[in-house]
Structure 1
Amino acid sequence: MQVKDVMVREVVTISPFAKLREALSLMKKHQLKSLVVERQNEQDAWGLITYTNILKTVIAEDGDIDLLNVYDVCAKPAISVGESLAVKHVATLMVQNRVKRLLVLNDNELLGFVAMDDIMDVLLQKVE
């Protein structure tokens, strides 16, 4: 099984200059736990912002949801893989780096992302 078999292709993105409140609002609207942070130019890296990033910054560190930008708390560059990589290698990469989501890129163009939950869903379907 390859990344292209489990990846999500419809990705919600956000500007790195958006406020954290806007990011949370987008996550709530689309029922997501993460957003892809847009590049500023073709050579820039993609980023990833998650509920965990926001909670850590706003709750644990007393950050201001209306003052902080997405860029201040996102993971950038986000760890990425290609769509033809075997899922077993993606799972290893996730465990080693303690992340639940990876971007799927082709020559720095965003194709989608793969989440640990998506891999588990496919695995559980094979068990049934």
Structure 2
Amino acid sequence: MTTTDYAKVRDAMTPSVRTIGAMATVREAIAEMREAGVSSLVVERRDEADEAGLLTVSDIAREVIARNCSVDRVNVYEIMSKPVLTLPADMNIKYAVRLLVRFSLSRALVVDEHRQPVGIVTLRDLVLRHGAD
């Protein structure tokens, strides 16, 4: 690869984004994750000034199941991560890896030039894609 030809975040991301409303219950989130075969959901923004959230299986395990809370009584907004680190789809993979490592994160939301979610990328995805070149 030359300095002008580099792997981008979009090359490593999972392009489909599954979303859920902040007021949904954890039971609904688990059902959505199971149906889609994913381990995270993007929590929808309320308006243009708001930021998206992210709900992961780890959030559910740590904040609901391990604390013996009811999946019917906990709403997604109560346990989601927010704000979420967002990465531009055209960002160089090596810089994306640096950001995830610096903030001790395992995944990030990928956005387009209008801040709309276009995918999810994990540290694993980025490292494996970077090593392929």
How many angstroms apart in 1 are the aligned matches of 2:89 and 2:127? 17
**Matches for 1:51-70 after TM superposition, within 5 Å:** 51-70=57-76
**Matches for 1:1-128 after TM superposition, within 5 Å:** 1-105=7-111, 106-123=113-130, 126=132
Partner letter of residue 63 of structure 2?
T
Aligned length: 126
Partner SS for 1:22 = helix
Name the TM-score, length of structure 1 as normaliser. 0.89
Structure 1 residues 38-87: Cα deviation after superposition (integer angstroms, max 9, x where no partner)? 01111110110000000001122222210110000000111111111111
How many angstroms apart in 1 are the aligned matches of 2:61 and 2:11? 31
Flag structure 1 segments of 5+ consecutive residues without an equivalent.
Answer: none
Identity %, equivalent residues: 33
RMSD: 1.6
Name the TM-score, length of structure 2 as normaliser. 0.86
Structure of greater Rg = 2
Larger helix proportion, structure 1 or 2? 1
Displacement after TM superposition at 1:122 (Å): 2.3
Partner SS for 2:89 = coil
Flag structure 2 segments of 5+ consecutive residues without an equivalent.
Answer: 1-6
